[in-house]
Amino acid sequence: MASITLPNPGVAVAGAAHATTERAWVRWTLIAIAVTFLGVFLFLPLAVVFSSALEKGFSVYLAALRESDAMSAIKLTLIAAGIAVPLNMFFGVTAAWAIGKFDFFGKSLLVTLIDLPFSVSPVVSGLIYVLIFGLQGLLGPWLAVHDIKIIFAVPGIVLATLFVTFPFVARELIPLVESQGTEEEEAALTLGASGFQTFWRVTLPNIKWGLLYGVILCNARAMGEFGAVSVVSGHIRGRTNTMPLHIEILYNEYQFAPAFAVASLLALLALATLLAKTFVEWKARQQSAELKP
């Protein structure tokens, strides 16, 4: 066979290493910029939240949280998230199952619709419900006759939260379900499993970490949502205020310490979310690395 001249591999390797490494001063400058950015825009605000919250002492901090309006805001936030998250979890799983495992007419339209809450401003999302359920709205007169209150009441807040956090679980699961294909489900089917058994024993275990990840993000957003909820809530203290709304009111009334005290709870939630998210991501990676089909 004719001999073929290959480029010197030593040179090639050295060149490749060089291509992805910058000189020292460039590296350090970039790192310094990144660290400064992180410090000023992320760590500093977080530190300010906690320091402002505890500025007037721990007793003031606790009092701000124990105050009845604050308690009711915390309660309402938990209720809204407690309803919205499970519902969106259910919806997300069914949507991902339908979109990932089946082909049907209008599939891409459905995918686009699922993304709608992401692309619409939260304020508009809130307004939509006011226009439908509000006193002057589409269903307003009918609701008024039957004495059902949605806008400026808890149902409206739950609805707005539901709408805004709609895509989180579905978005997380659709690519995952699609990438796993349908072979395992087909195998289960030929082995005599029913549709429900196939879902419960084959599909769900394969997506559980992705599902948990979606639920964590969904929950964080549900508890932190301001815009949409603000429009439908009516800001009735002790009745229709969620935590973010309560914080805003306190702040506008120059009650900085209590405002930051409640804000610190949300900040803690964010930190817990990050921790849980990191753990779940790590678990999911482990699973996908270990349990490749």
Partner 1 sequence: MSIDAINISKNFGHFPALNKVNLEIPSGELVALLGPSGSGKTTLLRIIAGLEFPDSGTVRFDGNDIGARSARDRRVGFVFQHYALFRHMTVFENIAFGLRVRPRASRPSRAQIRAKVQELLKLIQLENLADRYPSQLSGGQRQRVALARALAVEPSVLLLDEPFGALDAKVRLELRRWLRQLHDEIHITSVFVTHDQEEALEVADRVVVMNEGRIEQVGSPEDVYNHPASPFVYNFLGNVNLFHGRVEEDKTYIQESETGHVVYVRPHLLDIARLPNDGSHFRARVKHINSAGPLVKVEAIAEWGDPVRVELPQERFRSLQLMKNEEVFIIPKDVKVFPARKEMARAK
Which spans of this chain sit near partner 1 (rule: CB under 8 A)? 183-184, 186-194, 197, 201-202, 205-206, 287, 290-293
Which CB atom, from 187 or from 275, has the smaller least distance to partner 1? Answer: 187
State which residue, 191 or 272, has the beta carbon closest to partner 1: 191
CB of 203 to partner 1, least distance (A): 10
User: Which burial class, exposed, middle or buried, applies to 96 when counting CB atoms under 10 A from its CB (0-12, 13-18, 19+)?
Assistant: buried
CB of 191 to partner 1, least distance (A): 4
Q: In terms of Cα–Cα distance, which of 233, 223, 204 is closest to 266?
A: 223
Q: How far is the CB of 293 from partner 1 (least distance, A)?
A: 5
Rounded least distance, CB 283 to partner 1, Å? 13
Q: Which is nearer to partner 1, 52 or 287 (CB)?
A: 287
257, 56 contact by CB (below 8 A) = yes
The contacts of residue 238 (CB under 8 Å, 6+ apart) are 68, 69, 72
Nearest by Cα to 243 from 218, 231, 260: 260
| Alpha carbons 127 and 231: distance in angstroms, whole number | 6
Residues 6+ apart with CB under 8 A from 103: none
| Residue 184 beta carbon to partner 1: minimum distance, rounded to whole angstroms | 5
Q: Which is nearer to partner 1, 135 or 187 (CB)?
A: 187
Q: How far apart are CA 293 and CA 282, in angstroms?
A: 19
Q: CB-wise, 7 or 293, nearer to partner 1?
A: 293
